[in-house]
């Protein structure tokens, strides 16, 4: 989580070590503030923004951190599934497809030989 005033990374107590601002002052920026702010902003879906706002007290902040950690592991799972799907597609394209093409080629050659014999 970052400081709402200067964008500096907050410590574990939610306090900014750069300007002394605390997480209690964290709020959703207005359009005007967004235009004036040049630091890194975190775009939250509306369902999570409410949670982000309530992170001022300690227990809620822990839940927020836990949810965030779970989100990271889901992200890793998604990447793993993506790699698996790519591996399967690579297998299909580079192994199964040549086998099918060779099989089809053999079939065509056999068919040509048979039709040549008949004539
Ligand atoms: Zn700050």
The 10s digit of each residue's pLDDT in 12-67 is 888 888 888 776 545 566 666 666 766 666 665 555 544 555 445 555 555 555 55
Rounded to whole angstroms, the Cα distance separating 34 from 100 reads: 57
Residues with CB under 5 A from ligand 1 (ion): 3, 5-6, 8, 16, 18-19, 21
Task: Give domain status of residue 93, yes or no.
Answer: yes
Task: Give domain status of residue 103, yes or no.
Answer: yes
Total domain count, the chain:
1
CB 17 within 8 Å of CB 8: yes
Task: Give domain status of residue 18, yes or no.
Answer: no
pLDDT at 102: 95
* Residue 53 Cα to ligand 1 middle (Å): 17
Q: What is the pTM of this model?
A: 0.29
Task: Give domain status of residue 118, yes or no.
Answer: yes
Band the pLDDT of 82: cuts 50, 70, 90.
very high
Task: Give domain status of residue 108, yes or no.
Answer: yes
Between 86 and 70, the more confident residue is 86
Task: Give domain status of residue 16, yes or no.
Answer: no
Task: Give domain status of residue 49, yes or no.
Answer: no
Task: Give domain status of residue 112, yes or no.
Answer: yes
In the numeric block, which tokens belong to residue 80?
């793993």
Domain membership of residue 89 as a residue range: 70-119
Rounded to whole angstroms, the Cα distance separating 5 from 24 reads: 12
In the numeric block, which tokens belong to residue 62?
């822990």
């Amino acid at each position: 989580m970052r400081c709402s005033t200067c964008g500096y990374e907050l410590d574990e107590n939610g306090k900014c070590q750069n300007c002394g601002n605390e997480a209690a002052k964290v709020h959703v920026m207005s359009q005007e503030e967004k235009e004036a702010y040049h630091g890194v902003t975190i775009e939250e879906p509306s369902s999570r923004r409410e949670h982000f706002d309530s992170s001022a007290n300690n227990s809620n902040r822990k839940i927020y951190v836990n949810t965030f950690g779970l989100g990271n592991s889901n992200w890793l799972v998604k990447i793993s599934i993506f790699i698996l799907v790519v591996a399967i597609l690579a297998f299909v394209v580079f192994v199964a497809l040549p086998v099918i093409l060779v099989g089809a080629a053999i079939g065509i050659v056999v068919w040509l030989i048979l039709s040549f014999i008949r004539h």
